[in-house]
Amino acid sequence: MSGATARRSVRADVSPLRTRVISALVMAPLVLGALYLGGVFTDLLMIAVGAGMAFEWARLTTQGAGSAVGVAALGVGVGILLYALDRPEMAALLLLLTALVAPALIGRGAGLRGRLWLAAGVVYLGAACLGFLFLRARPEVGLLLIGWLIAVVWATDIGAYAAGKSLGGPKLLVRVSPNKTWAGLVGGLASAVLVSVLVAAWQPELAHATRLPGVAGVAVAGALLALVAQAGDLLESALKRRVGAKDASGLIPGHGGLLDRADGLVAASLVLALSITALDATV
């Protein structure tokens, strides 16, 4: 390789990385700031994120059918708004209505499978966003729950990537995500457990907030959430693979779409919110 060719190759590699870094530096303070402030700031964040993810999901499942995409995004966004306005019954009703109406707007070319994917996505993404708001709104412990949840998902992603890259080994699900390995799965679990132990030791009230038996209980819950997060990642990979897409969209320069960044968090938010709701019902 000549010197000029090598320099062009280096510039080609650096440019996407620079874009990713700039996007992260712009978005991270806004997202984390909204989550820290809570209230209307978190509500507005979730309306935007929820509508964006619904847009991406509908675009993938319907091959860009405009009417279905618009209805899905609008329905999820307004549903989150209704929940934020303390109208959970209306929010749930609107999500279910959207799951019925949006697939009906797809042309025959999408087929039954595409319609089912779209309907399921509206309910799945909408419920996950409502679950995230439910966790953040928990009195006194909402910020702690959200902080732990995000830390677990991030640790899972980082641990899985590091272990998969360094150890390699047998593939996890080649047909769904060719790059994921069993080593990555274990690495993600181990990282989630470590982060959960550290957070629980630093903030003992986390065990009380989740009704788990001390640090050990939080560690086990962290491992389970890591499994759920990786399942959410695989679900989005299966959806993209079904339509031959590399990214859910280009909404985030250098990162792809919102779903590409939040797929694991979506699944983990829904499961954690449902688990705490079930525990509340037993008290």
Question: pLDDT tens-digit profile of 230-279?
Answer: 999 999 888 888 778 787 777 777 667 888 888 999 999 999 999 999 98
What pTM, to 2 d.p., does this model score? Answer: 0.89
Torsion 112-115-121-126 (CA) sign: negative
Mean pLDDT on 177-184: 83
Statement: residue 79 has pLDDT above 70: yes
Residue type, 29: P
State the Cα–Cα distance between residues 107 and 264, nearest whole angstrom: 31
Statement: residue 54 has pLDDT above 80: yes
State the Cα–Cα distance between residues 77 and 130, nearest whole angstrom: 11
Q: Which two tokens stand for residue 15?
A: 């440019």
| DSSP run (H or E) holding 5 | helix 3-37
Give, in order, the Cα–Cα distances in Å from 222 to each of 162, 265, 272.
Answer: 18, 13, 10
11 alpha-carbon distance from chain centroid: 31
The number of beta carbons lying within 10 Å of the beta carbon of residue 66 is 11
Nearest to 134 by CA among 269, 281, 283: 269
Statement: residue 64 has pLDDT above 80: no
State the Cα–Cα distance between residues 98 and 105, nearest whole angstrom: 11
Helix (H, G, I), strand (E, B) or coil at 112: helix
**Given the structure tokens 């695989």, which residue do they identify?**
234
| DSSP run (H or E) holding 173 | strand 171-173
Statement: residue 76 has pLDDT above 80: yes
- The pLDDT confidence band at residue 78, using thresholds 50, 70 and 90, is very high
- The pLDDT confidence band at residue 168, using thresholds 50, 70 and 90, is confident
Q: What percentage of the chain reaches a pLDDT higher than 90?
A: 53
State the Cα–Cα distance between residues 267 and 223, nearest whole angstrom: 14
41 alpha-carbon distance from chain centroid: 19
